[in-house]
Structure 1
Amino acid sequence: MSEALLAVEAAATDTTVPAASGARQFWRRLRTQRAALVAAGVVALLVLVALAAPLLTALEGQDPTTYHPSLVDSARGGVPIGSLGGASADHWFGVEPQTGRDLFARLVHGARVSLGVALAATVVQVAIGTTVGVAAALGKRWVDQLLSRFTDVMVAMPLMIMSLALLAIVPPSFPRPVLVALVVGLIGWGNIARIVRAQTLTLKELDHVAAARLSGWGTWSIARRELLPGVAAPIITYAALLVPTNITVEAALSFLGVGVKPPTPSWGQMLTAADVWYQAAPQYLLLPAGALFITVLALTVLGDGVRTALDPRAASRLRIGTGRRRESKADAGGTA
């Protein structure tokens, strides 16, 4: 993540203002990256599964909260009866040890929680970080100093430790997925504020911003019409890299017992008890861990592809490298 942050901060110093055809250029560059396209397809499939979770579980005929005590062997401590953890036509991935809850239903509903919490936390981080970054860059010197020092404090603050502390003192009656999204979002916006501030300081010195200021536009009108379009690229890039990080944080918090609470399913929560049952029912560990790994990997690859597609200098380096390879092949062919 540190290398990605350095790449995004470097891109933030680019003074190029996106043209009207920026979307077409972005898509053209993204299409050249097969790994990013595959990752985008995987992410789209995961989002579709999360949105269609009630339909999929209805098709199976199960739900994520119903207990099936007849499908576990109480004499052996609650081990699922049958091979592959009790997998059958009625329970596609088997059942959960002790409770007998359907694993497929809990897995697809857990995708809704994990992806939903990560996306909501990312939206909160982007909203706060963008507001603070623009305000610091456009405000007076003391405002800039105050907001910058506050941002430094937030960046230095350990996210997991603060999240654990805040989640532990909030009453259990508060909806846990909403609470996790808010806590992660309210703590983790510091880096995006730095990126937005650096880009805004560069853009506000350009001629079109000076012309808007001389025309009598207000500060926030200039920010909304002239500056925010210019900082959109680094914001989108870093937001794409924040989502997998937030998924990992949510899973870790649920694994530690302060995140999403039962009976609401979550991948991190499913991993909490998996270490006790992985020998008797290995899919109880492998399914949520595999889903988490694939999701984080796909989002990371997609985020890196978005960063490359939005950074013209990266695309230029790619073209230069391709041209050199072609020249070297042509020289080799001519020599032969």
Structure 2
Amino acid sequence: MSEALVAVEAAGTDSTVPAASGARLFWRRLRAQRAALVAAAVVALLVLIALAAPLLTAVEGQDPTTYHPSLIDSARGGVPVGSFGGIGAHHWLGVEPQTGRDLFARLVYGARISLGVALAATLIQVAVGVVVGVSAALGNQWVDQVLSRITDIIVAMPLMIMSLALLAIVPPSFPRPVLVTLVIGLVAWGGVAKIVRAQTLSAKGLDYVSAARLSGWKTRHIARRELLPGLAAPVITYAALLVPMNISVESALSFLGVGVKPPTPSWGQMLTAADVWYQAAPQYLLLPAGALFVTVFALTVLGDGVRTALDPRAASRLRVGTGRKKPADGVRADAADKKKEATA
């Protein structure tokens, strides 16, 4: 039912266009944004480095936890021996001050923690937010009021303060990356729930949803078959912007000492230990900070590109590399593409 309406609305003529053309239009719009393509390539490279961390460190011949006391100068307070922090054939980015642990190995393994925690927390936020938002919109007035007030409380709670409080009372034996993921995911789903509830309330009054209800479909079937596909665009857009925020939260928690604990490497944890070494060993501070900045910036640009591609009427917030000097031209181009596919 909804598929037929999508086809009619997309065509705008007597002929129908397959619903799959929406995906092609999305990719066409995304490819038109050079900044988003570059950001996607950077994100893909970072994910590949995180997945290949054991292989990369094996090629280097190091690991992220082994101490090398012979590579630090105890007389100077633990400064790495050699120039540029001990960079050499066996230590590609040098070693940590005081410990002598390989900096390259800790950096690539830290990418696993930072990216993994952020992605997993985003999935939890989306899952909980979609369930709460759809339930509030489709439930009766009492259910809507209760779930909406709970969502307001979640949104109003300071994320960092709540995370600090929860992480401080959990026993140290609990796996810290898993704990950080659960805390971020279960404390910050309110934004997703609000967006989903608003979109679902708007879709409830559309003709195809009313037709499904009159046909005798149950509420859960209407939600699964008619409403959830329409929620994909706003949820994906918001999730793409949540990932960089979650990376920053994980790094901040590790920087404050309540996140990932040593010897497990994390970019935020590395920054915590590097704050007193920025003069003696600046690469120890600059490398994790640079990796964190590049990751967050690339994910932000990619999320903005996804948002613009899903909603071509909304101009990009980033005025660099969008490839769209005149938004009206882009809208006319999309209409022309639809017309060509309709007459094909």
TM-score between both structures, scaled by the size of structure 2: 0.87
Uncovered stretches (5+) of structure 2, i.e. residues with no partner:
1-8, 11-17, 316-323, 333-344
Question: CA offsets, 1:63-106, max 9 Å, x none?
Answer: 00000000001111111000000000000000000100000000
Amino acid at match of 1:245: M
How far apart in 2 are the matches of 1:318 and 1:173? 56
Identify the residue that residue 305 of structure 1 maps to in structure 2. 305
Q: 1:151-201 CA deviation, whole Å, 9 max, x = no partner?
A: 011000000000000000000111100100100000100011000000000
Q: Write the distance in 1 (CA, Å) between the matches of 2:288 and 2:129.
A: 31
Aligned to 2:150: 150
Residue 203 of structure 1 corresponds to which residue in structure 2? Answer: 203
Identify if the C-alpha distance between structure 1 residues 42 and 91 changes in structure 2 by more than 3 Å, giving closer, same or farther. same
Distance in 2 (CA, whole Å) between partners of 1:253 and 1:220 is: 39
Give the corresponding residue for 2:51: 51
**Equivalent in the alignment of 2:87:** 87
Cα separation, 2, equivalents of 1:26 and 1:114:
29
What residue number does 1:100 align with? Answer: 100
Q: How far did residue 22 of structure 1 move?
A: 1.5
| Paired amino acid for 1:240 | A
Tell me the amino acid that sits aligned with residue 164 of structure 1. Answer: L
CA-CA distance at 1:323 after TM superposition: 9.0
- Unaligned 5+ segments in structure 1 are 1-15, 325-336
Query: Relative to structure 2, which stretch is displaced further, 304-313 or 111-120?
Result: 304-313
Helix, strand or coil for the counterpart of 1:115? Answer: helix
The match for 1:320 is 328
Secondary structure at the aligned position of 1:258 is classed as coil
| 1:166 paired to 2:166 | yes
CA offsets per residue over residues 214-262 of structure 1, 9 Å max, x none? 1211111110110000010000000000000000000000000000000
Amino acid at match of 1:313: R
Give the TM-score normalised by structure 1: 0.89
Show the 5 A alignment for 1:87-236.
87-236=87-236
Moved more, 273-282 or 251-260: 273-282
* Aligned 8 A contact 2:312 2:331 in 1: no
| Letter aligned with residue 226 of structure 1 | E
Paired position in structure 2 for 1:261: 261
Question: Helix, strand or coil: the match of 1:273?
Answer: helix
Report how many residues are paired: 309
Aligned to 2:252, the other structure's residue is in SS state: helix
C-alpha deviation, 1:314, in angstroms? 2.6
The percent of aligned pairs where both chains have the same amino acid is: 81
Partner of 2:14: none
Amino acid in structure 1 at the alignment position of 2:72 = V
The equivalent residue for 2:321 is none
Which residue identity does 2:164 align to in structure 1?
L
Letter in 2 for 1:20: A
RMSD of aligned residue pairs (Cα, Å): 1.7
Offset of 1:322 from its aligned partner? 6.4
